[in-house]
Amino acid sequence: MRIEDSEQAEEAVSLAQQAEWQDITPIEQDEGEGSMCPIAYTDEYRELMGYLRAVMAVGEVSERALALTARVIEENPGHYTVWVYRKRLVEELESDIAKELDWVSEISSKFPKNYQLWHHRESLVTRLWAPSNAQSVSEDQRVTNPVLRRELQFLGAAIDEDSKNFHAWSYRQWLISTYALWTQELVFVDTMINQDVRNNSAWNQRYFAILANRDPSAVHFEADMAKSEIEYVVEHIKLAPNNDSPWSYVTGLLLRHAPSMLYTDLLPRIKQLAADNAYQAAMTLTPFYWSALLDIYEQQAADHPDTKKQLVEESRAICDQLASETDIIHCRYWNFRKTSLDTC
């Protein structure tokens, strides 16, 4: 019999029938007297939790407790208290961290959008290689470190499996910022955007990579950098004009970090694109083009009060266009935006 088969056979036997657990008296869940809506746990899960409560109550640190947490997590991966207990067990038992990462990878393949496993993975990686130690070597050396190389490969596979997995992208941001792996991140993001221009997660990651851990409120983009991003976005708008991601990215980027370039640089570029016969129909039919114009005109009016009257009139016309033709489903929102123009 294989080891895996032996382990599965043991798991199939009730804990109450296993010699290893004879010294433990399970603690049943107290749902209160006369509970109206008791949770319909399976018998297996109810038993596992009874034994888990018992070992946690006495603060047991043992291999059997560690194995028990694994079984509970496989039944209910969202049970954060069990994850906290498992983290403590791994640390105090000085478990093999590489094996623990293998186990977490297996769990994540079944439950890729579980919050707790990603946080557990963070704690494991920092134990394998403390960020303070990583600061003493170059970025090239950090990237080739076996710990980080493994994590980047794992993330590559996770994002390939689901390119919009919020948890995987969040973990990637943690890894990149914690170990300062900024140099290649824009290359990675560019690859992901080129694979799927509608991947809003990749566009969000682009903004993250450009900021590179700087305080967003303190960052003002140099003209060359902002122009480069505008050209990058325009080229990707050409691929799919009715795709919200690049529009939201560029207007948000410029509004926050180079607001005047909305009307000095972005405005002429998107108007030029809308006048191009190859893109005219797609551009004028997408609400994102008109919405961008509205944001641009509002910023321009705020910066140049002498042109405010004309810009407000043009903005009202855009709101009418959106409410009655281009984005009728959101007509109430555009009518609201129209009334708010009087106070801009």
CB atoms under 10 Å from CB of 128, counted, come to 16
The length of the chain is: 344
Helix runs in 60-198, H state only: 63-75, 80-92, 97-110, 115-128, 131-134, 139-144, 146-161, 166-178, 185-195
Task: Name, in order, each residue with C-beta under 8 angstroms of 250's C-beta and a sequence gap of 6 or more.
Answer: 229, 230, 233, 266, 292
Indicate the DSSP class of residue 330: G
DSSP SS3 for 261: helix
- Rounded to whole angstroms, how far apart are CA atoms 177 and 111? 25
In 257-321 the beta strands, taken as DSSP E runs, fall at: none
Residue 318 · residue 297 · CB < 8 Å:
yes
Q: Is 238 known to be catalytic?
A: no
Closest C-alpha among 295, 291, 288, 290 to residue 243: 288
Instruction: Pick the catalytic residue from 99, 110, 113, 164.
Output: 113
Distance CA 319, CA 332 (A): 10
CB atoms within 10 A of CB 32: 8
Buried b (16+ CB within 10 A) or exposed e, 267-286: bebbeebbeeeebeebbeeb
Of the candidates 23, 90, 87, the residue with the CA atom closest to the CA atom of residue 58:
23
Place of tokens 């030029």: 272
Report how far residue 65's alpha carbon sits from residue 72's, in angstroms, rounded to the nearest whole number. 11
- Residues assigned a catalytic role: 113
